[in-house]
Copies of this chain bind each other. A is one copy, B any other.
Amino acid sequence: MALDGRIEQAVVAALALSKGADAPPRLQAALDHAVFPGGARIRPTILLSVATACGDDRPGLADASAAALELIHCASLVHDDLPCFDDADTRRGKASVHRAFGEPLAVLAGDSLIVLAFEVLAQAAGDHPRRAVDLMRILAQRTGMPGGICAGQGWESEAVIDLAAYHRAKTGALFIAATQMGAVAAGQDAEPWEELGARIGSAFQVADDLKDALLTPEEMGKPAGQDAAHQRPSAVAEMGVAGAVSHLKDILGGAIASIPSCPGEAKLAAMVRAYAEKMTPVHLSPVRG
């Protein structure tokens, strides 16, 4: 996909802001380890797809938004992997940051990546400071409390979980950030793009639950069966494999229907359809489960 190169370039440019002759070298290496090589870069891909569909009149702002969103995602992975959360030894097929660099640098790498996300947007503001401020506000709201991924992760420390709020914040928030930031970077209103992001987020949540239940650790590139092991709520536990697959298809159909009218509407619908195919591959069908 043509967006891939654009995203990697934006993420590399963002990481360059964190480098300096005066910086502690191991923390610098930990940041690179956390961000490269990337995973699927799904959130920035959605963001740039929406920006493109909306005309992408300020590609520099869209690129910075894509990088910022990916940095927040990477930060969340580094912190979620910590011993006090998932205690994951591996991530994206290599050692997790705390395994490679120790816990102190993993905490600091996550912190630094969160800060860097906002710095990237501030640096890219240029002649459009108002758009940059809007982008930073959306990113903050979908990252922190009360409705961002921090809130989502926080629900796992509650005795009683509000499941809807948990999923909306833990998985949905950054997908909503993706669609809304893509639109705002291109000068459009954020509000009409919330539903698409929320639906894509729900679809990913269900697809993740299916993967966790059905794939091997080798196929995942990280430990499998974690939902069951940690007795975490999941769509598979709730409605079974077949039910979850059918639910996933419903969500994605609604996602396509929710796309606001924009110049690149048809192409964006095609992209969501392509993701839908990827999310429900043959080997995730109920037959194997």
B104–A158 CB distance below 8 A: no
Q: In the bound complex, what is the Cα–Cα distance between A98 and B175 (angstroms)?
A: 30
Contact of A153 among B108, B119, B147 (CB under 8 A): B108
Chain A residues engaging chain B, CB cutoff 8 angstroms: 18-20, 22-28, 31, 75, 79, 82, 84-85, 101-105, 107-108, 110-112, 114-116, 118-119, 121-123, 125, 129-130, 132-134, 136-137, 140-141, 143-148, 150-151, 153-158, 162, 165, 168-169
The interface residues of chain B lying within 8 Å CB-to-CB of A108 are: 79, 150, 153-154, 157
Give the shortest distance, in Å, between A98 (CB) and chain B (any CB). 9
Chain A contact residues, majority secondary structure: helix
Q: How many copies does the complex hold?
A: 2
| Complexed CA–CA distance, A103 and B103 (Å) | 12
List, sorted by A's number, 28 A–B pairs whose CB atoms are closer than 8 Å. Answer: A18-B144, A18-B145, A20-B146, A22-B151, A23-B145, A23-B154, A24-B151, A24-B154, A24-B162, A27-B145, A27-B150, A27-B151, A28-B146, A31-B145, A79-B111, A104-B156, A105-B154, A107-B107, A108-B157, A112-B151, A115-B140, A115-B148, A116-B144, A118-B118, A119-B141, A122-B137, A125-B133, A129-B130
A22 with B144: in contact, given A102-B157, A129-B130, A154-B105 (CB under 8 Å)?
no
CA distance A115 to B121 in the complex (A): 14
A108 to B: closest C-beta gap in Å = 5
What are the residues of chain B within 8 A of A85 when measuring CB–CB? Answer: 104, 107
Which residue in chain B gives the minimum CB-CB distance to A21? B146
Find chain B residues with CB under 8 A from A102 CB: 84, 157
**Bound state CA distance, A286 and B195, in angstroms?**
66
